[in-house]
């Protein structure tokens, strides 16, 4: 509720020289993270969204002198046993890279509480996706050990620079996410089955609701989680619109 919302925005980031707070939006595939993130950004000039680098995963340039472009997202969905480990190294690296970027100057100058909003995090990379691929047998024991080893090293070395103030969990049924996934029709996702979304849903629940996931980072366990009903249609639901006009009058109706 609003209590936890206020709590994670008012607590200190632990760095006196650096007021920018970081919030990650988590949730199943196609639940509506980007739509929600854009709403946050348009509601408040102090909030900046850093999108998930999906387009980078779809366009990897390799080879010379002729450059070929490969679509790792597609390769991962087509042949998960061959490509999941490679995918997770690249998705996690690109998440680290974008989240380590310094915030833009306008945020640093802002007088309010500047917030950077991430679509997913280095933590969902490990505790949702990589773990799920391991449990499905698409990442083998050796790959999983190697992934966890370098993931922990990077978090220990750089974690303080990407510390989260809070997590927003957009929660919806796997069926609802499937409906939206079909609606948006991203070609790589054609073969995604409801069962896969159900498994990802359970991983989210274990980490963010039941708190029963085996998390290796003490700080992460204490990050407050704001749970929001992701089944609402944020752009058209009358109740959401009413809330927006009452509390966020700066937004276009
Ligand atoms: P949204 O805004 O909630 O509709 O979601 P998008 O489109 O911004 O992002 P989402 O959740 O659909 O993720 C993009 C695609 O990448 C989707 O097919 C799931 C996949 N994906 C994202 N992160 C990972 C990951 O760490 N591992 C694997 N295997 N797949 C991932």
Q: What is the pLDDT of residues 118-130, one digit of tens each?
A: 999 999 999 999 9
Contact 51 CB / ligand 1 (< 6 Å): no
Higher pLDDT, 232 or 202: 202
Average pLDDT, the chain: 87
Q: Looking at the predicted complex, does its ipTM rise above 0.85?
A: yes
- pLDDT tens digits along 71-91: 999 999 999 999 999 999 999
Question: Given ligand 1 and candidates 26, 29, 125, which is best to mutate, with the most ligand atoms within 8 Å of its CB?
Answer: 29
Alpha-helical regions (H) of the chain: 2-10, 33-43, 54-58, 72-78, 80-100, 105-109, 122-124, 131-135, 141-158, 174-184, 194-204, 218-221, 238-247
Contact 110 CB / ligand 1 (< 6 Å): no
Q: Cα of 15 to ligand 1 centre, how many Å?
A: 31
Active site residues: 119
Q: Which domains does the chain have, with CATH numbers?
A: 2-247 (3.40.50.300)
pLDDT score of 15: 42
Q: In what helix (H) or strand (E) does residue 166 lie, and over which residues does it extend?
A: strand 166-171
Contact 32 CB / ligand 1 (< 6 Å): yes
Q: Cα of 111 to ligand 1 centre, how many Å?
A: 33
Q: Whose CA is nearest to atom 29 of ligand 1?
A: 129
pLDDT score of 88: 98
Residue 46's pLDDT band (cuts 50, 70, 90):
confident
């Amino acid at each position: 509720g609003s209590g936890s919302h206020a709590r994670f925005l008012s607590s200190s980031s632990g760095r006196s020289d650096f007021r920018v707070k970081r919030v990650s939006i988590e949730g199943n595939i196609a639940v509506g993270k980007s739509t929600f993130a854009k709403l946050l950004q348009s509601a408040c000039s102090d909030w900046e969204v850093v999108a998930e680098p999906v387009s980078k995963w779809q366009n990897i340039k390799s080879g010379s002198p002729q450059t070929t472009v490969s679509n790792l997202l597609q390769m991962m969905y087509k042949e998960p046993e061959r490509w999941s480990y490679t995918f997770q190294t690249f998705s996690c690296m690109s998440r680290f890279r974008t989240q380590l970027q310094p915030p833009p100057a306008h945020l640093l100058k802002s007088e309010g509480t500047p917030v950077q909003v991430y679509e997913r995090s280095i933590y969902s990379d490990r505790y949702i996706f990589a773990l799920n691929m391991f449990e499905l047998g698409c990442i083998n024991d050796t790959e999983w050990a190697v992934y966890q080893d370098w993931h922990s090293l990077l978090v220990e070395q750089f974690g303080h620079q990407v510390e989260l103030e809070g997590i927003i969990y957009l929660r919806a049924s796997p069926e609802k996410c499937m409906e939206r996934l079909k609606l948006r029709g991203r070609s790589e996702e054609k073969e995604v089955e409801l069962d896969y979304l159900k498994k990802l849903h359970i991983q989210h629940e274990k980490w963010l609701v039941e708190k029963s996931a085996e998390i290796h980072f003490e700080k992460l366990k204490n990050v407050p989680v704001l749970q929001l009903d992701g089944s609402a249609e944020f752009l058209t639901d009358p109740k959401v619109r009413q809330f927006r006009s009452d509390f966020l009058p700066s937004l276009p109706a």
